[in-house]
Amino acid sequence: MLFATDGVITKVSDATGSDKFLNIITPNRGRIGVLVKGSRSPESKTASLSQLFTYGNFEIYEKNGMYWLRGGMVIDPFYNLSEDITRIAAATYMCELANELTDESDECEEILRLLLNSMYLLGKGEKKVAIVKAVFELRAMAISGYMPDASACRYCKTPIADEMYLDVLGGRIMCAECFKERGDKTKNISRDFEDVREASVICRMTSSVVAALKFVLMSPPEKTFSFYITDDEELQLLSRLAETYVTSHLGRGFDSLDFYNAVK
């Protein structure tokens, strides 16, 4: 069966001979693995349609659950991402994270739109890479069912304070006073249950970071990047929080994230 779909190429790997194997995230068919025959040969017509980050409309042949690229049209190759190593690194990581969070047959319209918006902003270079990356991480996790409740302190319901903490795996925030109180209790529990202490991952937040977290999670998709954190240390806090949220919930690291942190 032949069909056409929009999608973005989130992974490219070499297959046998001059063939390539692509991951394409599509709105309605989820993340599909597509073989491209002969795309590494110089006279290939599909070479431009088989580059990482390419957003296009792909003509795909499907048989018995296998997919082959027949042709298509590039909508945006995101060439401007390659002007800067940090942008390439961030975009590569976002694609790897999107691959991890999606599967074949998933409804992927929301995460696809987030990924495209993020790559567009990275390519334009007007927004700080660390902000685009943190927004992508937090929104992608929220879309995929890992939405933290950042509305107020889970204990005293204070919505925002100078110092707050995110209980990463619990997906809740706490003010400094309640954290202190609870922290002591956790210590008591941990004497008997070692794993309780080991399982808690806590990130400190300033009020700007709390405000940013709330904004990223609660704003409509078209507004989600429209905030500023000017203080570098606070941006670092948000950045580390978003990374920790991803790696703690998914229980894994990412080579592309390590690479990003090495070159940023």
Quick one: which segment of 104-112, 120-128, 172-180, 250-258 binds Zn ion (CB under 5 A)?
Answer: 172-180
Q: Does 168 bind Zn ion (CB under 5 A)?
A: no
Q: Does 24 bind Zn ion (CB under 5 A)?
A: no
Distance in Å, CB of 175 to Zn ion, minimum: 3
Q: Does 227 bind Zn ion (CB under 5 A)?
A: no
Angle at 164 between CA 158 and CA 169, to 5 degrees: 105
Please report, as residue ranges, which positions from 144 to 163 form the binding site for Zn ion (by CB under 5 A). 153, 155-156, 158
Q: Does 205 bind Zn ion (CB under 5 A)?
A: no
From candidates 175, 210, 217, 257, binder to Zn ion by CB under 5 A: 175
What x-and-dash track marks residues 91-120 binding Zn ion by CB under 5 A? ------------------------------
CA 142, CA 136: separation in Å to the nearest integer? 10
Q: Which long-range contacts (CB under 8 A, 24 or more apart) does 61-69 make?
A: 61/1, 61/2, 62/1, 62/2, 62/3, 63/1, 66/35, 67/32, 67/33, 67/34, 67/35, 68/34, 68/35, 68/36, 68/37, 69/22, 69/34, 69/35, 69/36, 69/37, 69/39
Most distant pair of Cα atoms in the chain: their distance: 69
Distance in Å, CB of 165 to Zn ion, minimum: 10
Which C-beta is closer to Zn ion: that of 110 or that of 163?
A: 163
Q: Do residues 240 and 229 lie in contact, with contact meaning Cβ atoms separated by under 8 Å?
A: no
Question: Count residues contacting Zn ion (CB under 5 A)?
Answer: 6
The pair of structure tokens assigned to 245 is: 């949220």
Angle at 182 between CA 176 and CA 183, to 5 degrees: 80
Distance in Å, CB of 202 to Zn ion, minimum: 14
Give the pairing type, strands 163-167 and 172-175. Answer: antiparallel
Which C-beta is closer to Zn ion: that of 140 or that of 178?
A: 178
Q: Does 209 bind Zn ion (CB under 5 A)?
A: no
From candidates 178, 209, 237, 238, binder to Zn ion by CB under 5 A: 178
The residues that touch Zn ion, with contacts defined as CB under 5 A, are 153, 155-156, 158, 175, 178
